[in-house]
A and B are shown apart, each in its own frame.
Chain A
Amino acid sequence: MIARLAISAAAIGLFTCTAGFAASDRSEPKTHTVTIEEMRFQPERLTVARGDTIVWVNKDLVPHTATSETGRFDSQTIQTAKSWKFTARTKGEFAYICSFHPTMKAMLNVK
């Protein structure tokens, strides 16, 4: 009886440890902000985890877009004082631009 209790207790302890490990290993998705200001994406290079959400906020006086050069994402027009969000599901490095202003380039790295 004592032996069975000990095994059960050990099993519960193991389960608890496993559950605890899993929870800390798989962190909650985060939200990152890219500010569009002075005709630049800030930060120009952003690294996120799969499942994270990126919010582009347009603080310029003119409309912009956040458009992946490979077609992975495209905000369409983001008007002044508006934002657009995208949840990254695929790993990779995604170069993106403002399709209106070809001088505006940035990189989204999804790990």
Chain B
Amino acid sequence: MRISFSVVALAGVLFLHAPTVSAQDVNDAQIASIVVTANQVDIDAGKLATSKSTNDDIKAFARLMVTDHTAVNKSATDLASKLKVTPQDNATSQSLKADGEKHITHLKTLKGAAFDKAYIDREVAYHQQVIDALDKTLIPGATNGELKALLLKVRPAFVAHLEHAKRLQASAGERD
């Protein structure tokens, strides 16, 4: 039995504001695009937080996000080119990109503790959403064995980031 996943369902996992598109299967090229976009969104937010946050722990976390998600993206793009798969833009990757840009715009209006809180709250939610998407859609949906293996290899890093972000969120709450 082939498991079928719809782009709409996946968009729903990642976003509440997913555009309404006709249901279609998520193929490996679309999964590659979703992975690359999801990483890039977090790299962009991390770069902003690295320069804008005044909290050393938040800045260290933001630098880590830039380093780790850049490394993951390099592995993903290297694999895509090895497999001759061109990442295919889709409703989910477009939503990820648009939502990420909206978040950056919002973060730019904030400073100090308000900035840190907005950044880290979003990091907690984002990593949880990506883990859910990996478990429910991306890993079971990947048909190529190497792509599936890469997603499985990436998952523990997202879990560690989530735990790290939650600790920062809790310590920020204590400071309030």
Instruction: Please give the residue numbers on chain A whose beta carbons come within 8 Å of chain B beta carbons, in ascending order.
Output: 38-40, 60-63, 80, 100-104
Chain B: how many interface residues by the 8 Å CB criterion? Answer: 15
B68 and chain A: residue at smallest CB distance: A62
Whether the pair A103, B72 counts as a contact (CB closer than 8 A) is no
Find residues 150-164 in chain B having any chain A CB closer than 8 Å to their own CB.
Answer: 153-154, 156-157, 159-160, 163-164
Report Cα–Cα, A24/B153, bound state, in Å. 44
B67 contacts partner chain A, Cβ-Cβ < 8 Å: yes
Whether the pair B67, A63 counts as a contact (CB closer than 8 A) is yes
Whether the pair B157, A60 counts as a contact (CB closer than 8 A) is yes
B75 contacts partner chain A, Cβ-Cβ < 8 Å: yes
For A103, what are the chain B residues with a Cβ–Cβ distance below 8 Å?
160, 163-164
- Give which listed residue, B154, B159, B164, B167, contacts A61 with CB less than 8 A: B154
Report Cα–Cα, A102/B64, bound state, in Å. 11
Whether the pair A61, B75 counts as a contact (CB closer than 8 A) is yes
Report Cα–Cα, A62/B74, bound state, in Å. 10
B98 contacts partner chain A, Cβ-Cβ < 8 Å: no
Report Cα–Cα, A61/B153, bound state, in Å. 8
Report Cα–Cα, A48/B173, bound state, in Å. 42
Report Cα–Cα, A38/B67, bound state, in Å. 17
Which 10 A-B pairs rank lowest in CB-CB distance, beginning with the nearest? Answer: A39-B156, A38-B156, A62-B68, A39-B160, A62-B71, A103-B160, A103-B163, A61-B75, A101-B160, A61-B71
